Amino acid sequence: MFEKLSFIEERYNELSKQISDPEVISDQALFAKLCKEQSDIAPIVEKYKEYQALKDAIEESEEILADPDMDKELKELAEEEIKESKQKIEVIDGELKILLLPKDPNDDKSVIVEIRGGAGGDEAALFAGDLFRMYTMYAEANRWKTDILSSNPTDIGGYKEISFSIDGAGAYSKLKFESGVHRVQRIPSTESGGRIHTSTVTVAVLPEVEEVEVDINANDLRIDVFRAGGPGGQCVNTTDSAVRITHLPTGLVVSCQDEKSQHKNKDKAMKILRSRLYDLVQSQQHEQIAQERKSQVGTGDRSERIRTYNYPQGRVTDHRIGLTLHRLEAVLNGDLDEVIQALITTHQSELLKGEQA
């Protein structure tokens, strides 16, 4: 591990020299690339320097203890310094191991979130709306921008399905574990007998990708335009502004009708299609590289039940890690940090076990 840390520190210093070179500064693309590389490894270098400083402090204190001419009080201070430094080193050692774990290349990306009502009819659609609100409030708390890409609202509120982007650095790193089946247990407003119903909603979190990352052949696309339906005003409903794009090789179909402009709907549909194709390729690669140890936080399978929201008990339970919180209202108001951090920590622990195996 320390050979790797030493190499990273050398690389950091080398990058510092390169980004100070006038020739590099004049090449904006190269300059940006080197700055990003340095920024990515900076937390590792800073933590490694903390580690080295503590090691130096221990050596100095040990020299004091070994000196027969040093007074008793100074030696006691040196013993205390060694004890504290060793405790800190133990913590930093664990932090360095986590920092050195292979990084998901998608972690820094923005995301596209797709929410669909599952079992439960109108109640599932209403809860899809609740989850949409939860994620948009979480995005607001992180100062991320949200934009609805496509939606299919119901007459009583909620959505049969809704796709939206969350634009912010690191959004994928925090939201990637949200993919799966979310279950809600509550008494619907239409239930006269007061019985608790169980409904489900599926969530898919896809990394947003650029055109250069996914090569889409225009000949592989069938693009249909049609008149938008549902709410949206007279202009939307009386012009062929809605767009449906079919990717013929995979059969993937994306429709967008929220915008009045056919051009804008096409752009949004292509954005969703790129992310779905990218996700499809990644899923196939993950299947080919079968892992011996399956992570406790799940496989990202859309059919996997990951969380239950129980209204009568005010409870949220994440089944992958056995976490239960009795603060349902706060979670649905976007306070997801405790759940997300627990998922990240568990995932990191599983990765560490894999590295040590």
Same domain flag for 75 and 195:
no
Whether residue 326 is contained in a domain is answered as no
pLDDT in tens, the chain (357 residues): 788 888 889 998 999 999 999 998 998 889 888 998 898 889 899 999 999 999 999 999 998 888 888 888 888 899 999 999 999 999 998 888 888 887 888 888 899 999 999 888 888 999 999 999 999 999 999 999 999 988 889 888 899 999 999 999 889 999 999 999 999 999 887 666 678 888 999 999 988 887 666 778 888 889 888 877 654 444 445 567 888 889 988 888 988 887 888 888 888 888 888 888 888 877 766 554 444 334 445 544 556 789 999 999 999 999 999 999 999 999 999 999 999 999 998 888 888 776 655
Same domain flag for 122 and 239:
yes
Whether residue 261 is contained in a domain is answered as yes
Last residue of a domain, one of 76, 99, 122: 99
pTM of the model: 0.72
Same domain flag for 112 and 218:
yes
Query: What 3-state class would DSSP assign to 69?
Result: coil
Same domain flag for 108 and 85:
no
Same domain flag for 77 and 119:
no
Hunting for tokens 């989850």 — which residue is that?
131
Last residue of a domain, one of 41, 73, 99: 99
Same domain flag for 222 and 270:
yes
Which alpha helices (DSSP H) does the chain contain, by range?
A: 2-18, 22-26, 28-66, 72-99, 122-141, 171-175, 234-238, 262-288, 328-332, 337-356
Domain around 42: 2-99
Whether residue 239 is contained in a domain is answered as yes
Same domain flag for 140 and 281:
yes
- Identify the pLDDT of residue 53: 93
Structural domain count, the chain: 2
Q: Comparing C-alpha atoms, which of 324, 299, 132 is closest to residue 124? A: 132
Per DSSP bridges, beta strands 221-226 and 242-247 are: antiparallel
- CA distances from residue 121 to 157, 183, 204, 273, 331 in whole angstroms, order as listed: 12, 13, 19, 26, 23
Same domain flag for 87 and 178:
no
Whether residue 69 is contained in a domain is answered as yes
Same domain flag for 78 and 60:
yes
Last residue of a domain, one of 56, 73, 99: 99
Whether residue 309 is contained in a domain is answered as no
Same domain flag for 134 and 255:
yes
Amino acid at 281: V
Whether residue 314 is contained in a domain is answered as no
CATH number at residue 151: 3.30.70.1660
Whether residue 85 is contained in a domain is answered as yes
Question: What strands lie across the sheet with 145-153, from one edge to the other?
Answer: 145-153, 159-167, 111-117, 197-207, 180-186, 305-310, 315-318, 323-325
